[in-house]
Amino acid sequence: MSDPTRSRTPAIVAAVDVGSNTIKVSVARKKGDDLDELLADAQTVRLSAGLEATGRIDPQRAEMAIACLLQFAAAAREVGASGFIGVATEVVRVANNGEELLARIALETPWRLKVISGDEEARLTYAGVRLSLQGAVSAVVADIGGASTELISATGDAAEGFISIKIGSGRLTDRFVRNDPPTNDQLRDCREAALTTLGAADFRAPAPLERLLVTGGTGLYLSALVGGDSGIPPARLAMARQTLLGFPSAILSDFLHIPVERAKVLPAGVAVVEAMTELWRPRELQMTASGIRRGLLLRYFAGESDQG
């Protein structure tokens, strides 16, 4: 049965992804079977900072999140958005005060966020990046967040497995990184912890693995460090490692045009990519923007979302 409310679907919709490191927004309208993106932005809030120690979202970080969402809403309205949808991921799932933050967001901003499971996060990621996998015989999509990493196994055009594991660049930074720039031993500890978690996870990468597709900030900033976004030999990760060991976050921030807070957690994110390449031996790496917001918007315009 058709949904009569779909006749009132806004023509332009804003979607946010409230992640553990970064809050991101995309504003788009439907264009055939694809999207016409009108605005994209991101702010590093690091909601997961201190979560390992306290189990709670820091009040100052919560205030930063509210301010960020209000700014994004104003910018979205300027380009014509009248629908505001979004998801919250691992940090809100696990924080003792996650529901309290969601209630404040609903009261103080136009966003009504849905907390999604790790499995749903992985499925949205795949929906958003599926076109990027065309031509790949076998692939793993890895969305490395601040507090969790979502993995999707794909063969041809079909996804065969989804999983969310509790490793992320923010969690590993809080646990192991004490220097800026990090020491070689600290990055090794990040990589070994990621290897242990990946090895114990109920997830199988295709073998042989043609492509490891790294999404989100880790993928985008890694591509800037090694020069390129597709068909990158895994051996070039050594170049990124040396850069991350040699320059403090303030220098990386200037070079990559990202906030210092985001630059501080990038080395641990790259250590997770190193662990994946060591474990699965992909023939090549590919980098792309996060697929969550894109997947969310595609589903919404297709009438498959329960938001709105």
pLDDT band with cut points at 50, 70 and 90 for residue 136? low
More confident of the two residues 53 and 196: 196
Query: Which fold does the domain 4-118+292-301 belong to in CATH?
Result: Nucleotidyltransferase; domain 5 (3.30.420)
Mean pLDDT of 96-104: 95
Cα(109)–Cα(149) distance, rounded to whole angstroms? 28
For the chain, the structural domain boundaries read 4-118+292-301, 132-288
Q: What percent of the chain has pLDDT over 70?
A: 94
Q: Single out the residue of 272, 90, 78 nearest to residue 172, CA to CA.
A: 272
Looking at the predicted structure, is the pLDDT value of residue 121 above 60? Answer: yes
pTM score: 0.84
| Domain 132-288 classification at class level | alpha beta
Looking at the predicted structure, is the pLDDT value of residue 281 above 70? Answer: yes
The pLDDT value given to residue 7: 45
pLDDT band with cut points at 50, 70 and 90 for residue 129? confident
Cα(104)–Cα(86) distance, rounded to whole angstroms? 15
Residue 211, beta-bridge partner list? 139, 284
Backbone angles phi, psi at 104, to 5 degrees: -65, -40
Residue type present at position 168: G
Q: Which two tokens stand for residue 282?
A: 């992909």
The pLDDT value given to residue 6: 43
Residues 6+ apart with CB under 8 A from 8: none
Instruction: Examine domains 4-118+292-301 and 132-288 and report if their fold is the same.
Output: yes
Residues 6+ apart with CB under 8 A from 58: 47, 49, 50
Residues 6+ apart with CB under 8 A from 153: 139, 140, 159, 160, 161, 162, 203, 204, 205, 206
